[in-house]
Structure 1
Amino acid sequence: MKQVEDDEILLKFSDEKTRNTAFNLLLTKYQQKIYWHVRRLVIDHDDADDLVQDTFVKVWKNLGSFRNDSQLYTWIYRIATNECITFLNKKRNKNNVSLEEINTELSETLAASTYFDGDKIERKLQQAILTLPEKQRIIFNMKYFDDMKYDEISEVLGTSVGALKASFHIAVKKIERILSNED
């Protein structure tokens, strides 16, 4: 199936008669990418499904006012990332636990997940990623797994490219150190 351009999706969305079609095209184009982005941040499949749904509800409500001053997918990634951060913060506050404890819980969820089909090395990598501070983890995932450019990540996170490069470098070094200690 031919990939539809964002401009075409936005044009169709602006017309009441083709709005649903446009949104279905948008879902087809971005839902899987957003799911995996969210899943790597919250680990749990059910939480990821809920957050993806919340993300696309917000996209539906706000797409009409999208100003086109960024790329559509970076705008959607920003919404998804903010949903994840809000979710993790609520989880931490609700349970009155530290980020480290949440990361341990996520690591245990990863180990027990029936939805995780990665091999042993992939599981070790994911567990190493979970030891990173939240922002480094997000940056690492966007760069490593989503193959986003630094300027795109900058748009999503509102952080300078230089700071992103430094955070990614530090994250890679931490992960390398963790993985080399497990051998």
Structure 2
Amino acid sequence: MSQIPDENIIISYFHRDDALAYTAFTWIVDLHSKRLYTTIRRWVNNHEITNDIIQEVFIKVWNNRKQFQGNSALFSWIYRIAYNETIHFLKKENKHRTLNIDEPAVSFSHQSEHYGKLTSEEISKLLFEAINTLPEKQRMVFEYKYFQDLKYEEIAKLTGGSVGGLKANYFHAVGKIEEFLKGKLNH
């Protein structure tokens, strides 16, 4: 098979106890590793650590393949594993990630003495500094909502949180980011 089949076929193969299970696993890795890498890399900002986490994620995916019940999309299940592995790593290592600021992420419309004087890179740097001050849960919810434009229901499936709790986390994250930026820009 040169093309990757649809998800239902992949899942049916993935639950087997023969070589087709491994074939399905390689399809899953091909389909989802790049997207997982991008997300995890933003959280930990280190290539080697990201690769280590992804390796652990796919080991867990393989070892727990029969536990996937199909109640959500396969990627949601894998993403949940990735989220948990990343949180586990961050707690274990007690490190906080820094985001890549090569690409400007926002435009700046604050009417202050800095208006028009900051470059997009400086604005992005300030935003990412603000995001890094957030507690882990608020930071991840903010990133899912702001950068990936996910709906709260999708975030709930990925993180296991309630929609109401996620909305509260996002609301508090936005408030903290605004306060951080006001403090930096009005010093």
Question: What's 1:174 paired with?
Answer: 176
Q: How many angstroms apart in 1 are the aligned matches of 2:38 and 2:27?
A: 18
SS of residue matched to 1:118: coil
- 1:11 equivalent in alignment to 2:29: no
Q: Which residue of 1 aligns with 2:69?
A: 67
Residue 4 to residue 136, structure 1, CA distance change in 2 (3 Å): farther
Query: How many pairs were matched up?
Result: 166
The yes-or-no answer on 1:118 pairing with 2:118 is no
Please tell me the residue identity of whatever aligns with 1:7: N
Rg: which structure is higher? 2
Quick check: which one's helix share is greater?
1
Q: Per-residue deviation at 1:4?
A: 4.7
Kept in 2, the 8 Å contact 1:37–1:146? The answer is no
Q: From the superposition, tell whether residues 118 and 66 of structure 1 become closer, same or farther in structure 2 (CA, over 3 Å).
A: same
Deviation at 1:139, TM superposition (A): 0.8
Aligned to 1:139: 141
Shift, 1:116, TM fit: 6.2
RMSD: 2.4
Residues 135-144 or 11-20, more deviating: 11-20
Q: Is the 8 A contact 1:40 1:141 kept in 2?
A: no
Q: Deviations over 1:25-45 (max 9, x none)?
A: 212221122112212222222
Deviations for 1:93-125, whole angstroms, at most 9, x for unmatched residues? xxxxxxxxx43xx44xx6xxxx86435243332
Listed one character per residue, the Cα deviations across residues 11-69 of structure 1 (whole Å, up to 9, x for unaligned) are 22234232232122212221122112212222222111110111111111111221112
Distance in 1, matches of 2:4 and 2:184, equals 42
- TM-score, normalising length from structure 2? 0.76
Q: Would the aligned equivalents of 1:129 and 1:175 in 2 still touch at CA under 8 Å?
A: yes
Instruction: Give TM-score, length-normalised by structure 1.
Output: 0.78
CA contact (8 A) 1:37 1:142 kept: no
Match for residue 151 of structure 1? 153
- Determine if contact 2:101/2:124 at 8 Å carries over to the other structure: no
Deviation at residue 86 of structure 1 after TM alignment:
1.0
Query: Partners in 2 of 1:129 and 1:12 — Cα distance?
Result: 41
